[in-house]
Amino acid sequence: MSQTSGSDDSLYRRDPKVYPRDVTGTFASLRKLAMVVLLGLYYIVPWINWAGHQSILFDLPARKFYIFNLTFWPQDFIFLTLMLIIAGLSLFFVTAVWGRLWCGYACPQTVWTEAFLWLERLVEGDRSKRIKLDASPWNRNKILRKSAKQFLWISFALWTGFTFVGFFTPIRELGGSIANFQTGPWETFWLLFYSFATYGNAGILREQVCKYMCPYARFQSAMFDKDTLVIAYDEKRGEPRGGRRKSIVPSEQGLGDCISCTLCVQVCPTGIDIREGLQIECIACAACIDVCDQVMDKMGYDKGLISYTTEHRIGGRETHMLRPRIFVYSFLLLALVAGVIYKVNDRVLLRADLLRDRNALYRELPDNMIENVYTLKLINMDLKPHQYRIEVVDNDDMVLFISPQPSLKPEEVGNFILRMQAPASAGRGSLKVDVRFSTMEEPIIERTVSTRFLMPFK
Amino acid sequence: MTTEHPVNRRWSMRQRDWAVVLWIAFLSAAAGFFVLFGLIDPLDMVSAWADEFDIGVRLAYGLAFTFLYLVCLLAAWLTMFMIRTGPVSGHVKGEGRRSIPEIKDPTQANPDLKGEDWK
Protein backbone atom coordinates (compact mmCIF):
# COMPACT_ATOMS: atom_id res chain seq x y z
CA MET A 1 0.00 0.00 0.00
CA SER A 2 2.97 2.29 0.37
CA GLN A 3 3.37 4.93 -2.27
CA THR A 4 6.10 7.30 -3.24
CA SER A 5 5.82 10.44 -5.27
CA GLY A 6 5.25 9.98 -8.96
CA SER A 7 8.77 10.75 -10.07
CA ASP A 8 11.65 8.40 -9.25
CA ASP A 9 13.96 11.43 -9.17
CA SER A 10 12.25 12.86 -6.11
CA LEU A 11 13.99 12.25 -2.81
CA TYR A 12 10.85 12.98 -0.80
CA ARG A 13 7.84 10.84 -0.14
CA ARG A 14 4.29 11.94 -0.67
CA ASP A 15 1.78 10.67 1.88
CA PRO A 16 -0.93 8.46 0.41
CA LYS A 17 -4.54 9.66 0.56
CA VAL A 18 -6.31 8.53 3.73
CA TYR A 19 -9.60 6.66 3.27
CA PRO A 20 -10.91 6.19 6.82
CA ARG A 21 -13.07 3.09 7.19
CA ASP A 22 -16.41 3.63 8.93
CA VAL A 23 -16.54 2.33 12.48
CA THR A 24 -19.20 1.70 15.09
CA GLY A 25 -18.84 1.34 18.84
CA THR A 26 -19.07 3.27 22.08
CA PHE A 27 -16.62 6.02 21.16
CA ALA A 28 -17.89 6.30 17.58
CA SER A 29 -21.39 6.85 18.99
CA LEU A 30 -20.08 9.49 21.38
CA ARG A 31 -18.28 11.20 18.51
CA LYS A 32 -21.44 11.18 16.38
CA LEU A 33 -23.46 12.51 19.31
CA ALA A 34 -20.96 15.34 19.79
CA MET A 35 -21.15 16.10 16.06
CA VAL A 36 -24.95 16.22 16.06
CA VAL A 37 -25.14 18.40 19.19
CA LEU A 38 -22.40 20.84 18.17
CA LEU A 39 -23.46 21.20 14.54
CA GLY A 40 -27.10 21.36 15.68
CA LEU A 41 -26.26 24.26 17.99
CA TYR A 42 -24.31 26.02 15.25
CA TYR A 43 -27.07 25.74 12.63
CA ILE A 44 -30.11 26.23 14.87
CA VAL A 45 -29.13 28.85 17.49
CA PRO A 46 -29.10 31.87 15.13
CA TRP A 47 -32.73 31.09 14.16
CA ILE A 48 -33.91 31.35 17.78
CA ASN A 49 -35.09 34.75 18.95
CA TRP A 50 -34.55 35.73 22.57
CA ALA A 51 -35.63 38.83 24.52
CA GLY A 52 -36.62 40.69 21.37
CA HIS A 53 -33.52 39.97 19.32
CA GLN A 54 -31.62 37.09 17.73
CA SER A 55 -30.34 34.80 20.52
CA ILE A 56 -26.69 35.20 19.47
CA LEU A 57 -25.87 38.16 17.25
CA PHE A 58 -22.57 39.97 16.87
CA ASP A 59 -23.93 43.25 15.54
CA LEU A 60 -20.71 44.91 14.36
CA PRO A 61 -22.23 48.08 12.78
CA ALA A 62 -24.14 48.83 16.01
CA ARG A 63 -21.11 47.69 18.07
CA LYS A 64 -23.23 45.42 20.24
CA PHE A 65 -22.97 41.69 20.94
CA TYR A 66 -26.20 39.92 21.95
CA ILE A 67 -25.82 36.63 23.81
CA PHE A 68 -29.27 35.54 25.00
CA ASN A 69 -30.23 37.91 27.87
CA LEU A 70 -26.96 39.81 27.82
CA THR A 71 -25.87 42.71 25.64
CA PHE A 72 -22.16 43.45 25.45
CA TRP A 73 -20.84 46.85 24.38
CA PRO A 74 -17.31 47.77 23.26
CA GLN A 75 -16.74 48.97 26.82
CA ASP A 76 -17.29 45.38 27.98
CA PHE A 77 -14.20 44.27 26.06
CA ILE A 78 -12.75 43.01 29.34
CA PHE A 79 -15.40 40.27 29.42
CA LEU A 80 -14.41 39.07 25.96
CA THR A 81 -10.79 38.95 27.11
CA LEU A 82 -11.75 37.05 30.26
CA MET A 83 -13.90 34.61 28.27
CA LEU A 84 -10.95 33.89 25.99
CA ILE A 85 -8.70 33.31 29.01
CA ILE A 86 -11.34 30.97 30.46
CA ALA A 87 -11.55 29.10 27.14
CA GLY A 88 -7.75 28.76 27.07
CA LEU A 89 -7.57 27.58 30.68
CA SER A 90 -10.41 25.11 30.09
CA LEU A 91 -8.42 23.67 27.21
CA PHE A 92 -5.36 23.34 29.48
CA PHE A 93 -7.45 21.66 32.17
CA VAL A 94 -9.23 19.25 29.82
CA THR A 95 -5.98 18.40 28.05
CA ALA A 96 -4.10 17.75 31.30
CA VAL A 97 -6.80 15.34 32.50
CA TRP A 98 -8.27 13.75 29.36
CA GLY A 99 -5.61 14.42 26.72
CA ARG A 100 -6.79 15.36 23.25
CA LEU A 101 -10.49 15.14 24.04
CA TRP A 102 -11.00 18.43 22.23
CA CYS A 103 -9.33 17.16 19.04
CA GLY A 104 -11.23 13.89 18.94
CA TYR A 105 -14.72 15.08 19.74
CA ALA A 106 -15.27 18.83 19.71
CA CYS A 107 -12.79 20.60 17.42
CA PRO A 108 -14.60 22.21 14.45
CA GLN A 109 -12.06 20.58 12.12
CA THR A 110 -12.99 17.13 13.45
CA VAL A 111 -16.71 17.81 13.57
CA TRP A 112 -17.01 19.18 10.02
CA THR A 113 -14.63 16.55 8.64
CA GLU A 114 -16.87 13.91 10.19
CA ALA A 115 -19.91 15.49 8.50
CA PHE A 116 -18.14 15.71 5.12
CA LEU A 117 -16.98 12.08 5.45
CA TRP A 118 -20.54 11.03 6.21
CA LEU A 119 -21.72 12.72 2.99
CA GLU A 120 -18.85 11.09 1.08
CA ARG A 121 -19.77 7.64 2.39
CA LEU A 122 -23.40 8.26 1.53
CA VAL A 123 -22.54 8.76 -2.13
CA GLU A 124 -19.36 6.76 -2.72
CA GLY A 125 -19.63 4.02 -0.12
CA ASP A 126 -17.15 2.92 2.54
CA ARG A 127 -13.37 2.71 2.32
CA SER A 128 -12.87 -0.12 -0.19
CA LYS A 129 -15.52 1.24 -2.56
CA ARG A 130 -13.99 4.72 -2.44
CA ILE A 131 -10.51 3.36 -3.17
CA LYS A 132 -11.88 1.39 -6.12
CA LEU A 133 -13.84 4.38 -7.40
CA ASP A 134 -10.80 6.67 -7.25
CA ALA A 135 -8.66 4.07 -9.04
CA SER A 136 -11.25 3.37 -11.75
CA PRO A 137 -11.24 5.23 -15.09
CA TRP A 138 -13.72 8.06 -15.55
CA ASN A 139 -17.02 6.50 -16.58
CA ARG A 140 -20.70 7.35 -16.11
CA ASN A 141 -20.85 5.88 -12.59
CA LYS A 142 -17.74 7.75 -11.42
CA ILE A 143 -18.87 11.06 -12.93
CA LEU A 144 -22.32 10.75 -11.38
CA ARG A 145 -21.02 9.83 -7.93
CA LYS A 146 -18.29 12.46 -7.86
CA SER A 147 -20.73 15.14 -9.10
CA ALA A 148 -23.32 14.17 -6.49
CA LYS A 149 -20.67 14.30 -3.75
CA GLN A 150 -19.46 17.71 -4.88
CA PHE A 151 -23.04 18.98 -5.04
CA LEU A 152 -23.70 17.84 -1.45
CA TRP A 153 -20.36 19.17 -0.19
CA ILE A 154 -20.76 22.58 -1.84
CA SER A 155 -24.39 22.93 -0.68
CA PHE A 156 -23.39 22.01 2.88
CA ALA A 157 -20.42 24.40 2.77
CA LEU A 158 -22.62 27.24 1.46
CA TRP A 159 -25.18 26.63 4.20
CA THR A 160 -22.33 26.71 6.73
CA GLY A 161 -21.08 30.01 5.31
CA PHE A 162 -24.59 31.43 5.33
CA THR A 163 -25.05 30.44 8.99
CA PHE A 164 -21.68 31.96 9.90
CA VAL A 165 -22.65 35.32 8.39
CA GLY A 166 -26.01 34.89 10.16
CA PHE A 167 -24.21 35.36 13.49
CA PHE A 168 -23.20 38.87 12.32
CA THR A 169 -26.23 39.94 10.27
CA PRO A 170 -29.74 39.01 11.47
CA ILE A 171 -30.15 35.63 9.79
CA ARG A 172 -33.77 36.08 8.71
CA GLU A 173 -32.95 39.37 6.97
CA LEU A 174 -29.89 37.72 5.43
CA GLY A 175 -32.01 34.83 4.14
CA GLY A 176 -34.43 37.33 2.57
CA SER A 177 -31.68 39.34 0.92
CA ILE A 178 -30.09 36.17 -0.50
CA ALA A 179 -33.44 35.07 -1.89
CA ASN A 180 -33.74 38.48 -3.62
CA PHE A 181 -30.05 38.57 -4.70
CA GLN A 182 -29.54 41.72 -2.64
CA THR A 183 -26.74 40.78 -0.26
CA GLY A 184 -24.16 43.45 0.46
CA PRO A 185 -20.55 43.07 -0.67
CA TRP A 186 -19.08 42.13 2.71
CA GLU A 187 -21.85 39.63 3.43
CA THR A 188 -21.26 38.00 0.02
CA PHE A 189 -17.51 37.93 0.59
CA TRP A 190 -17.69 36.34 4.05
CA LEU A 191 -20.37 33.88 2.99
CA LEU A 192 -18.20 32.65 0.12
CA PHE A 193 -14.99 32.83 2.14
CA TYR A 194 -16.33 30.77 5.03
CA SER A 195 -17.97 28.30 2.63
CA PHE A 196 -14.66 27.91 0.81
CA ALA A 197 -12.79 27.47 4.12
CA THR A 198 -15.25 24.78 5.25
CA TYR A 199 -15.06 22.97 1.91
CA GLY A 200 -11.27 23.18 1.79
CA ASN A 201 -10.58 22.22 5.42
CA ALA A 202 -13.20 19.52 5.93
CA GLY A 203 -13.49 18.18 2.37
CA ILE A 204 -9.98 18.41 0.94
CA LEU A 205 -7.32 19.01 3.60
CA ARG A 206 -8.82 17.02 6.49
CA GLU A 207 -6.04 15.38 8.53
CA GLN A 208 -3.41 17.64 6.95
CA VAL A 209 -4.79 20.54 9.02
CA CYS A 210 -4.26 18.59 12.25
CA LYS A 211 -0.83 17.34 11.25
CA TYR A 212 0.74 20.44 9.75
CA MET A 213 -1.35 23.51 10.54
CA CYS A 214 -2.77 23.19 14.04
CA PRO A 215 -0.64 24.84 16.77
CA TYR A 216 -2.56 23.14 19.59
CA ALA A 217 -1.04 19.75 18.77
CA ARG A 218 2.45 21.23 19.03
CA PHE A 219 1.87 22.74 22.47
CA GLN A 220 0.47 19.58 23.98
CA SER A 221 3.71 18.41 25.51
CA ALA A 222 3.50 21.41 27.82
CA MET A 223 0.09 20.26 29.07
CA PHE A 224 0.60 16.50 29.14
CA ASP A 225 2.14 14.51 31.95
CA LYS A 226 2.38 10.80 32.70
CA ASP A 227 -1.10 10.78 34.26
CA THR A 228 -2.82 12.28 31.22
CA LEU A 229 -5.28 10.07 29.38
CA VAL A 230 -3.87 8.88 26.06
CA ILE A 231 -4.83 6.23 23.54
CA ALA A 232 -2.21 3.50 23.49
CA TYR A 233 -1.56 0.02 22.24
CA ASP A 234 -0.59 -2.54 24.88
CA GLU A 235 2.67 -3.65 23.34
CA LYS A 236 3.45 -6.21 26.01
CA ARG A 237 0.18 -7.98 25.38
CA GLY A 238 0.00 -7.51 21.61
CA GLU A 239 3.49 -8.46 20.44
CA PRO A 240 4.68 -10.42 18.59
CA ARG A 241 1.78 -9.81 16.26
CA GLY A 242 0.64 -12.09 13.49
CA GLY A 243 -2.30 -13.69 11.70
CA ARG A 244 -3.82 -16.87 13.07
CA ARG A 245 -6.89 -19.10 13.33
CA LYS A 246 -9.22 -18.46 16.20
CA SER A 247 -8.72 -21.98 17.51
CA ILE A 248 -5.00 -21.68 18.26
CA VAL A 249 -3.54 -20.68 21.62
CA PRO A 250 -1.35 -17.62 20.81
CA SER A 251 1.25 -18.25 23.53
CA GLU A 252 1.90 -21.73 22.21
CA GLN A 253 2.64 -20.26 18.78
CA GLY A 254 4.83 -17.52 20.22
CA LEU A 255 2.25 -14.85 19.37
CA GLY A 256 0.74 -11.92 21.26
CA ASP A 257 -2.88 -10.84 21.00
CA CYS A 258 -2.50 -8.53 17.98
CA ILE A 259 -3.66 -10.45 14.93
CA SER A 260 -2.17 -7.86 12.58
CA CYS A 261 -5.47 -7.24 10.79
CA THR A 262 -4.47 -3.54 10.32
CA LEU A 263 -8.05 -2.44 10.93
CA CYS A 264 -6.78 0.08 13.51
CA VAL A 265 -4.85 1.76 10.68
CA GLN A 266 -7.79 1.59 8.28
CA VAL A 267 -10.20 3.41 10.61
CA CYS A 268 -7.67 6.09 11.60
CA PRO A 269 -8.69 9.48 10.19
CA THR A 270 -5.06 10.64 10.21
CA GLY A 271 -3.72 7.40 8.69
CA ILE A 272 -1.29 6.46 11.45
CA ASP A 273 -0.48 3.14 13.10
CA ILE A 274 -1.18 3.51 16.83
CA ARG A 275 0.92 0.39 17.46
CA GLU A 276 4.04 2.46 16.79
CA GLY A 277 3.53 4.40 20.02
CA LEU A 278 2.29 7.87 20.95
CA GLN A 279 2.35 10.17 17.94
CA ILE A 280 1.73 13.87 17.44
CA GLU A 281 -0.62 12.99 14.56
CA CYS A 282 -3.03 11.02 16.80
CA ILE A 283 -6.17 13.12 17.43
CA ALA A 284 -7.48 10.66 20.05
CA CYS A 285 -10.75 9.95 18.26
CA ALA A 286 -10.72 6.39 19.66
CA ALA A 287 -11.83 4.81 16.35
CA CYS A 288 -8.97 2.30 16.74
CA ILE A 289 -10.25 1.32 20.20
CA ASP A 290 -13.72 0.59 18.84
CA VAL A 291 -12.56 -1.55 15.94
CA CYS A 292 -9.89 -3.40 17.93
CA ASP A 293 -12.41 -4.25 20.65
CA GLN A 294 -14.68 -5.76 18.00
CA VAL A 295 -11.81 -7.82 16.60
CA MET A 296 -10.81 -9.01 20.08
CA ASP A 297 -14.42 -9.98 20.70
CA LYS A 298 -14.57 -11.92 17.46
CA MET A 299 -11.35 -13.75 18.28
CA GLY A 300 -12.48 -14.50 21.84
CA TYR A 301 -9.75 -12.37 23.48
CA ASP A 302 -10.13 -9.73 26.19
CA LYS A 303 -10.95 -6.25 24.97
CA GLY A 304 -8.60 -3.34 25.60
CA LEU A 305 -5.57 -4.19 23.47
CA ILE A 306 -5.85 -0.55 22.36
CA SER A 307 -7.41 1.58 25.08
CA TYR A 308 -7.57 4.88 26.89
CA THR A 309 -4.77 4.67 29.42
CA THR A 310 -1.95 6.72 30.92
CA GLU A 311 1.80 6.45 30.61
CA HIS A 312 1.95 5.56 34.30
CA ARG A 313 -0.54 2.72 33.84
CA ILE A 314 1.39 1.39 30.85
CA GLY A 315 4.52 1.36 33.01
CA GLY A 316 2.69 -0.57 35.73
CA ARG A 317 2.37 2.37 38.08
CA GLU A 318 -0.67 3.98 39.64
CA THR A 319 -2.43 6.84 37.84
CA HIS A 320 -3.14 9.98 39.86
CA MET A 321 -6.10 12.02 38.80
CA LEU A 322 -5.54 14.69 41.45
CA ARG A 323 -2.18 16.34 40.97
CA PRO A 324 -0.77 19.86 41.45
CA ARG A 325 -1.35 21.16 37.93
CA ILE A 326 -4.99 19.99 38.03
CA PHE A 327 -5.49 21.90 41.29
CA VAL A 328 -3.87 25.03 39.83
CA TYR A 329 -5.96 24.91 36.63
CA SER A 330 -9.16 24.18 38.58
CA PHE A 331 -8.55 26.98 41.05
CA LEU A 332 -7.78 29.53 38.33
CA LEU A 333 -10.80 28.41 36.29
CA LEU A 334 -13.19 28.58 39.21
CA ALA A 335 -11.88 31.98 40.29
CA LEU A 336 -12.19 33.40 36.78
CA VAL A 337 -15.66 31.95 36.13
CA ALA A 338 -16.91 33.21 39.49
CA GLY A 339 -15.35 36.63 38.81
CA VAL A 340 -16.95 36.91 35.37
CA ILE A 341 -20.39 35.83 36.64
CA TYR A 342 -20.15 38.35 39.49
CA LYS A 343 -18.97 41.19 37.26
CA VAL A 344 -21.58 40.49 34.54
CA ASN A 345 -24.36 40.61 37.14
CA ASP A 346 -22.82 43.67 38.77
CA ARG A 347 -22.57 45.62 35.52
CA VAL A 348 -23.89 49.20 35.65
CA LEU A 349 -26.21 49.58 32.67
CA LEU A 350 -25.13 53.16 32.13
CA ARG A 351 -21.93 54.41 30.59
CA ALA A 352 -20.75 58.02 30.59
CA ASP A 353 -17.61 59.44 28.96
CA LEU A 354 -16.67 63.07 29.50
CA LEU A 355 -14.22 64.50 26.96
CA ARG A 356 -12.93 68.00 27.56
CA ASP A 357 -13.07 70.39 24.60
CA ARG A 358 -9.56 70.47 23.18
CA ASN A 359 -9.89 73.81 21.43
CA ALA A 360 -10.04 75.92 24.60
CA LEU A 361 -8.71 74.94 28.02
CA TYR A 362 -11.18 77.26 29.78
CA ARG A 363 -13.23 80.37 29.12
CA GLU A 364 -13.45 83.47 31.34
CA LEU A 365 -17.03 84.72 31.63
CA PRO A 366 -18.04 88.37 32.39
CA ASP A 367 -19.35 87.67 35.89
CA ASN A 368 -15.97 86.42 37.11
CA MET A 369 -16.89 82.83 36.33
CA ILE A 370 -14.74 80.21 34.59
CA GLU A 371 -16.31 77.77 32.15
CA ASN A 372 -15.07 74.42 30.80
CA VAL A 373 -16.89 72.70 27.95
CA TYR A 374 -17.14 68.92 27.61
CA THR A 375 -18.59 66.46 25.15
CA LEU A 376 -20.66 63.96 27.06
CA LYS A 377 -21.20 60.53 25.52
CA LEU A 378 -23.98 58.78 27.38
CA ILE A 379 -24.89 55.14 26.71
CA ASN A 380 -28.11 53.60 27.97
CA MET A 381 -27.19 49.91 28.17
CA ASP A 382 -30.56 49.04 29.68
CA LEU A 383 -33.52 47.57 27.77
CA LYS A 384 -35.79 50.39 29.07
CA PRO A 385 -35.84 54.11 28.18
CA HIS A 386 -34.40 56.52 30.77
CA GLN A 387 -34.12 60.18 31.64
CA TYR A 388 -30.95 61.16 33.45
CA ARG A 389 -30.11 63.47 36.33
CA ILE A 390 -26.57 64.90 36.30
CA GLU A 391 -24.93 66.54 39.31
CA VAL A 392 -21.49 67.39 40.66
CA VAL A 393 -20.58 65.42 43.78
CA ASP A 394 -19.56 67.33 46.95
CA ASN A 395 -18.76 70.60 45.23
CA ASP A 396 -21.24 73.46 45.68
CA ASP A 397 -19.15 75.90 43.59
CA MET A 398 -19.69 74.00 40.36
CA VAL A 399 -22.75 74.60 38.21
CA LEU A 400 -23.72 72.33 35.34
CA PHE A 401 -25.54 73.19 32.13
CA ILE A 402 -26.51 70.58 29.60
CA SER A 403 -28.54 70.68 26.44
CA PRO A 404 -30.69 68.97 25.48
CA GLN A 405 -31.85 67.27 28.70
CA PRO A 406 -30.43 63.70 28.50
CA SER A 407 -33.10 61.19 27.67
CA LEU A 408 -32.26 57.95 25.89
CA LYS A 409 -34.19 55.08 24.35
CA PRO A 410 -33.23 51.47 25.19
CA GLU A 411 -29.64 50.73 24.11
CA GLU A 412 -29.23 54.22 22.67
CA VAL A 413 -26.02 56.23 22.55
CA GLY A 414 -26.36 60.02 22.89
CA ASN A 415 -23.86 62.86 22.57
CA PHE A 416 -24.46 66.08 24.53
CA ILE A 417 -22.61 69.32 25.20
CA LEU A 418 -22.01 69.78 28.90
CA ARG A 419 -20.83 73.11 30.28
CA MET A 420 -19.44 73.39 33.78
CA GLN A 421 -18.96 76.75 35.51
CA ALA A 422 -17.22 77.75 38.74
CA PRO A 423 -16.30 81.10 40.31
CA ALA A 424 -12.70 82.18 39.59
CA SER A 425 -12.05 82.08 43.34
CA ALA A 426 -12.77 78.31 43.49
CA GLY A 427 -9.17 77.38 42.85
CA ARG A 428 -6.17 77.43 40.52
CA GLY A 429 -4.89 75.02 37.89
CA SER A 430 -6.49 71.66 37.44
CA LEU A 431 -9.30 70.62 39.80
CA LYS A 432 -10.64 67.09 40.12
CA VAL A 433 -14.41 66.99 39.74
CA ASP A 434 -16.71 63.98 40.25
CA VAL A 435 -19.89 64.00 38.19
CA ARG A 436 -22.74 61.65 39.07
CA PHE A 437 -25.17 60.38 36.43
CA SER A 438 -28.36 58.66 37.59
CA THR A 439 -31.67 57.60 36.13
CA MET A 440 -34.82 59.40 37.20
CA GLU A 441 -36.76 56.12 37.15
CA GLU A 442 -36.62 53.39 39.78
CA PRO A 443 -34.59 51.29 40.28
CA ILE A 444 -31.95 53.96 40.06
CA ILE A 445 -28.94 53.18 37.89
CA GLU A 446 -26.04 55.47 38.66
CA ARG A 447 -22.44 55.97 37.73
CA THR A 448 -19.88 58.55 38.90
CA VAL A 449 -17.21 59.77 36.51
CA SER A 450 -14.13 61.82 37.42
CA THR A 451 -12.82 64.57 35.19
CA ARG A 452 -10.60 67.66 35.34
CA PHE A 453 -11.82 71.26 35.54
CA LEU A 454 -9.21 73.74 34.33
CA MET A 455 -8.83 77.17 35.93
CA PRO A 456 -6.30 79.94 35.23
CA PHE A 457 -2.91 78.96 36.67
CA LYS A 458 -2.11 82.39 38.11
CA MET B 1 47.78 37.06 18.09
CA THR B 2 45.46 34.37 16.80
CA THR B 3 42.59 35.03 14.46
CA GLU B 4 39.43 33.05 14.92
CA HIS B 5 38.24 31.23 11.84
CA PRO B 6 35.07 32.88 10.50
CA VAL B 7 33.23 29.54 10.54
CA ASN B 8 33.49 29.44 14.32
CA ARG B 9 31.58 32.69 14.59
CA ARG B 10 28.61 31.44 12.62
CA TRP B 11 25.31 31.69 14.40
CA SER B 12 23.61 28.61 15.67
CA MET B 13 20.29 27.59 14.14
CA ARG B 14 18.46 28.98 17.17
CA GLN B 15 20.25 32.34 16.92
CA ARG B 16 19.42 32.54 13.22
CA ASP B 17 15.78 31.68 13.90
CA TRP B 18 15.45 34.43 16.47
CA ALA B 19 17.27 36.98 14.31
CA VAL B 20 14.83 36.28 11.47
CA VAL B 21 11.82 36.43 13.78
CA LEU B 22 12.88 39.76 15.31
CA TRP B 23 13.78 41.34 11.99
CA ILE B 24 10.72 40.18 10.02
CA ALA B 25 8.42 41.25 12.85
CA PHE B 26 10.08 44.67 12.85
CA LEU B 27 9.65 45.08 9.08
CA SER B 28 6.01 44.01 9.25
CA ALA B 29 5.29 46.31 12.18
CA ALA B 30 7.00 49.20 10.34
CA ALA B 31 4.85 48.58 7.23
CA GLY B 32 1.72 48.42 9.38
CA PHE B 33 2.76 51.54 11.23
CA PHE B 34 3.07 53.59 8.02
CA VAL B 35 -0.51 52.70 7.15
CA LEU B 36 -1.64 53.56 10.66
CA PHE B 37 0.29 56.85 10.57
CA GLY B 38 -1.35 57.81 7.29
CA LEU B 39 -4.89 57.00 8.34
CA ILE B 40 -5.25 57.71 12.04
CA ASP B 41 -4.79 60.79 14.17
CA PRO B 42 -4.22 59.52 17.73
CA LEU B 43 -5.84 62.63 19.20
CA ASP B 44 -9.12 61.62 17.58
CA MET B 45 -8.94 58.24 19.20
CA VAL B 46 -8.32 58.96 22.86
CA SER B 47 -11.24 57.84 24.91
CA ALA B 48 -12.18 59.20 28.30
CA TRP B 49 -9.90 56.90 30.29
CA ALA B 50 -6.88 57.74 28.13
CA ASP B 51 -7.72 61.43 28.28
CA GLU B 52 -6.91 61.40 31.97
CA PHE B 53 -3.30 60.38 31.22
CA ASP B 54 -3.04 63.13 28.59
CA ILE B 55 -1.16 60.94 26.11
CA GLY B 56 0.72 63.02 23.56
CA VAL B 57 0.94 62.22 19.85
CA ARG B 58 4.48 60.83 20.09
CA LEU B 59 3.65 58.54 22.97
CA ALA B 60 0.46 57.35 21.24
CA TYR B 61 2.39 56.49 18.07
CA GLY B 62 5.12 54.86 20.16
CA LEU B 63 2.61 52.68 21.98
CA ALA B 64 0.90 51.82 18.67
CA PHE B 65 4.21 50.72 17.14
CA THR B 66 5.08 48.67 20.22
CA PHE B 67 1.72 46.94 20.09
CA LEU B 68 2.07 46.23 16.36
CA TYR B 69 5.60 44.92 16.92
CA LEU B 70 4.43 42.55 19.66
CA VAL B 71 1.61 41.20 17.48
CA CYS B 72 3.98 40.70 14.53
CA LEU B 73 6.55 39.12 16.86
CA LEU B 74 3.97 36.62 18.07
CA ALA B 75 2.97 35.75 14.49
CA ALA B 76 6.58 35.39 13.35
CA TRP B 77 7.58 33.30 16.36
CA LEU B 78 4.55 31.02 15.97
CA THR B 79 5.37 30.54 12.29
CA MET B 80 8.94 29.56 13.15
CA PHE B 81 7.74 27.26 15.91
CA MET B 82 5.24 25.51 13.62
CA ILE B 83 7.82 24.96 10.91
CA ARG B 84 10.50 23.73 13.30
CA THR B 85 8.23 21.29 15.17
CA GLY B 86 6.24 19.75 12.29
CA PRO B 87 6.15 16.03 11.48
CA VAL B 88 9.60 15.03 10.26
CA SER B 89 9.92 15.04 6.48
CA GLY B 90 12.92 12.83 5.98
CA HIS B 91 14.59 11.34 2.97
CA VAL B 92 12.33 8.90 1.20
CA LYS B 93 14.82 6.07 1.57
CA GLY B 94 16.67 7.32 4.59
CA GLU B 95 15.98 7.85 8.26
CA GLY B 96 14.07 10.54 10.08
CA ARG B 97 10.57 9.70 9.00
CA ARG B 98 8.18 7.01 10.10
CA SER B 99 7.35 4.57 7.31
CA ILE B 100 3.85 4.57 5.87
CA PRO B 101 1.73 2.09 7.87
CA GLU B 102 1.18 -1.22 6.18
CA ILE B 103 -2.44 -1.92 5.33
CA LYS B 104 -3.70 -5.33 4.30
CA ASP B 105 -6.88 -7.33 3.98
CA PRO B 106 -7.83 -8.29 7.58
CA THR B 107 -8.94 -11.72 6.45
CA GLN B 108 -5.74 -12.47 4.57
CA ALA B 109 -3.99 -14.11 7.51
CA ASN B 110 -7.05 -14.34 9.75
CA PRO B 111 -9.64 -16.52 7.99
CA ASP B 112 -11.99 -16.38 10.99
CA LEU B 113 -12.64 -12.71 10.30
CA LYS B 114 -14.33 -13.50 6.99
CA GLY B 115 -17.94 -12.42 6.64
CA GLU B 116 -17.55 -9.31 8.82
CA ASP B 117 -17.92 -5.83 7.41
CA TRP B 118 -16.17 -4.26 10.46
CA LYS B 119 -18.53 -1.38 10.86
Residue A140 predicted with pLDDT over 90: yes
Mean pLDDT for all residues in chain A: 90
**Which residue of chain B is at minimal alpha-carbon distance from A290?**
B119
Confidence of residue A291 (pLDDT cuts 50, 70, 90): very high
As a whole number, mean pLDDT of residues A361-380 equals: 89
The number of beta carbons lying within 10 Å of the beta carbon of residue A147 is: 11
Q: Do A218 and B48 touch (CB under 8 A)?
A: no
> Can you tell me the mean pLDDT for A349-366?
85
Q: Is the dihedral of CA A33, A35, A37, A43 positive or negative?
A: negative
* ipTM for the assembly: 0.71
State whether B106 and A262 contact (CB < 8 Å): yes
Q: What pLDDT does residue B97 have?
A: 66
Q: Does B83 touch chain A (CB under 8 A)?
A: no
Report the C-alpha gap between A75 and A301 in whole angstroms: 62
Residues of A in contact with B92 (CB under 8 A): 4-5, 10-13
Read off the DSSP letter of residue A252. Answer: G
**Do residues A257 and A296 lie in contact, with contact meaning Cβ atoms separated by under 8 Å?**
yes
Instruction: Mark yes or no for CB contact B52/A452 under 8 Å.
Output: yes
Contacts of B42 in chain A (CB under 8 A): none
Pairwise CB contact (< 8 Å): B92 & A242: no
Q: How far apart are CA A74 and CA A70, in angstroms?
A: 13
Cα torsion A279, A280, A284, A289 to 10°: value is -10
Indicate yes or no: CB of A2 within 8 angstroms of CB of B43.
no
**Gap between the Cα atoms of B3 and A69, Å rounded:** 74
Query: Given CB atoms, is B41 within the 8 Å cutoff of chain A?
Result: no
**pLDDT exceeds 50 at position A343:** yes
Within 8 A of A23 by CB-CB distance, chain B residues are 118-119
Asked whether A403 and A458 are in contact (CB, 8 A), the reply is: no
Closest CA to A452 of A351, A359, A354, A350: A354
User: What is the average pLDDT across A36-57?
Assistant: 94
Region of poorest pLDDT, from A27-31, A101-105, B14-18:
B14-18
pLDDT in tens, A162-175: 999 999 999 999 99
Long-range CB contacts (< 8 A, 24+ apart) of B110-115? B110/A243, B110/A244, B110/A245, B110/A259, B110/A260, B110/A261, B110/A299, B111/A245, B112/A245, B112/A246, B112/A298, B112/A299, B113/A259, B113/A261, B113/A295, B113/A298
Which pLDDT band holds residue A383 (cuts at 50, 70, 90)? confident
**What is the average per-residue pLDDT within B44-58?**
63
| Mean pLDDT confidence for B76-96 | 73
Find the closest chain B residue to A264 by CA distance: B103
Mean pLDDT of A103-128: 95
Nearest-neighbour CA in chain A from B3: distance (Å): 40
A37-46, A324-333, B36-45: which has the minimum mean pLDDT?
B36-45
- Confidence at residue A372, expressed as pLDDT on a 0 to 100 scale: 92
Q: What is the pLDDT of residue A6?
A: 45
Q: What percentage of residues in chain A have a pLDDT greater than 90?
A: 64
Residue A265 binned pLDDT confidence (cut-offs 50, 70, 90): very high
CA distances from B70 to A304, A451, B15, B21, B73 (A): 48, 32, 19, 11, 5
Q: Rounded mean pLDDT of A408-426?
A: 90
A262/B82 CB distance under 8 A: no
Q: How many CA atoms lie within 13 A of A419 on its CB side?
A: 13
More confident residue, B53 or A105: A105
**What does the pLDDT read at residue A34?**
96
More confident residue, A230 or A74: A230
Q: Cβ contacts (< 8 Å) between B104 and chain A: which residues?
A: 1, 260, 262
* Interface touch B101/A272, C-beta < 8 Å: yes
pTM above 0.90, yes or no: no
